[in-house]
Amino acid sequence: MIRADLHVHTRHSRLSAIPALAARDCYSDPAEVYQRALARGMDLVTFTDHDTIDGCLELLSGAGTLGNFFISEEVSATDPRSGCAFHVSAFDIDEKQHREIQRLREDVRDLARYLEAEGIPASLNHVGSSLTRCRPPLDALLEVVASFPLIETRNGAQLAASNAVAELLAQKLEAEDRFLGRTGGSDAHTARRIGWTWTKAHARDRESFLAALRAGAVASAGISGRFAPMVWDVYQVVAKYYADLVRNTHGHFTEEQRRRAAAYALLSLPLHLIALPAAGTLYRQFRVHGAARSLARDLLRTTWDAPLVASSEAEKAVSMPAGAV
């Protein structure tokens, strides 16, 4: 059995929510992430930074060829028909494929067709949290999900009820003879949770594991997210942001960016020190749970050609009040 945490970030993942802060989504060095994954029992390692493979290339430029590593990225894709955004992990790619992926990401269907034509295994990630701002009609959503061979059903930064809804989507498509492989990953933005959640396959080495990914012959394992570890991670990222702003060790900031970011960071420091990370994380979980609850309810109302195996977490997502965590 081969294991790999298929959803991990490094300091090359940028945070686009507040451009003035010029913040990163993660401050872990690629070499640290690689070593931590191996120490946690992963047989293979990859990075899925947002719309970049720079972390993968940095590791390989320093270490040379690694037989237990492959290049990946998490693509921010858009469905132009609905305006909804989705995150898609593309595994085992090269620089040329990365450039084409970035060119096509404005249309999730074009992206899916390219990945299939190239034989690139791809997983639709954390569906529950992707639907907090926008959700296409159920038929259109199922069409998007079915365009990828894999779906992430165990995300270490999502609560179990949200992960269970991804499993319901997979079951719905299987009732219509469209099988999806299940992937898992920690979605770690600090080194702390790396390897807590993973993907497993009956494989011998990297090549056979990737072949299993392409065939969908994989399963997710490990733990779903819990509120306290997620809040701790947010505080860690905030603390590392301020340290990076002071030291600028990796040259993340230009001087102009640094001056502007310092002004915003000083203004927001009291909020960061009090409760903003915890409150923000809690608010986001309210929204994710609400989106997952709505989707689970719609799925359970539909007619199935095969018996639905609704997990206790999926049932909980439907029965709990909106926003309850």
Q: How confident is the model at residue 310 (pLDDT cuts 50, 70, 90)?
A: low
Place 323 in a pLDDT band, splitting at 50, 70 and 90.
very low
Give the whole-angstrom CA distance, residue 14 versus residue 22. 8
Tens digit of pLDDT for each residue in 140-179? 999 999 999 999 999 999 999 999 999 999 999 999 999 9
pLDDT at 110 over 80: yes
pLDDT range class, residue 251, cuts 50, 70, 90:
confident
Please give the residue that has the higher pLDDT: either 206 or 267: 206
pLDDT at 321: 44
Structure confidence by residue, pLDDT tens digits, 37-90: 999 999 999 999 999 999 999 999 998 889 999 999 999 999 999 999 999 999
Q: Give one DSSP letter per residue of 21-84, joined into a string.
A: GT-BS----HHHHHHHHHHTT-SBB----BT--HHHHHHHHHH---TTB--EEEEEEEETTTTE
Q: What's 57's domain CATH number?
A: 3.20.20.140
Q: Rounded to whole angstroms, how far apart are CA atoms 73 and 91?
A: 7
Q: Count Cβ neighbours within 10 Å for each residue of 286-321 and write b for 16 or more, e otherwise.
A: ebbbbbbbbbbebbbeeeeeeeeebbebbebbbeee
Q: Which long-range contacts (CB under 8 A, 24 or more apart) does 54-57 make?
A: 54/12, 55/9, 55/10, 55/11, 55/12, 55/13, 55/30, 56/30, 57/95
Q: What pLDDT score was predicted for residue 65?
A: 87
Q: Alpha helix (H) ranges present in 197-275?
A: 206-215, 227-247, 255-274
List the single range of 39-48, 182-191, 308-317 with lowest mean pLDDT: 308-317
The CA distance from 144 to 92, in Å, is 22
Confidence of residue 190 (pLDDT cuts 50, 70, 90): very high
User: What is the predicted pLDDT for the residue at 259?
Assistant: 84
Bigger pLDDT: 75 or 310? 75
Check: CB of residue 236 under 8 Å from CB of residue 192.
Answer: yes
Helix (H, G, I), strand (E, B) or coil at 277: helix
What backbone torsions phi and psi does residue 317 show, to the nearest 5 degrees? -60, -35
Q: How far apart are CA 40 and CA 156, in angstroms?
A: 14
The parent domain of residue 145 ranges over 1-325
Confidence bin at 129 (pLDDT 50/70/90):
confident
Rg (CA), the chain: 19
| pLDDT at 312 exceeding the cut of 60 | no
Both structure tokens of 252: 């993340």
Q: What is the pLDDT of residue 254?
A: 83
Give the pLDDT score at 260.
84
Name the average pLDDT for the chain: 89
- Cβ atoms of 79 and 136 within 8 Å: the answer is yes
Q: Name the residue among 184, 106, 167, 127 with its Cα closest to residue 315.
A: 167
pLDDT of residue 245 exceeding 70, the answer is yes
* 105-124 mean pLDDT: 98
How many domains does one find in the chain? 1
Percent of the chain with pLDDT over 90: 61
Residues 254-304 have pLDDT tens digits of 888 888 888 877 877 776 666 777 777 788 888 888 888 888 898 888 755
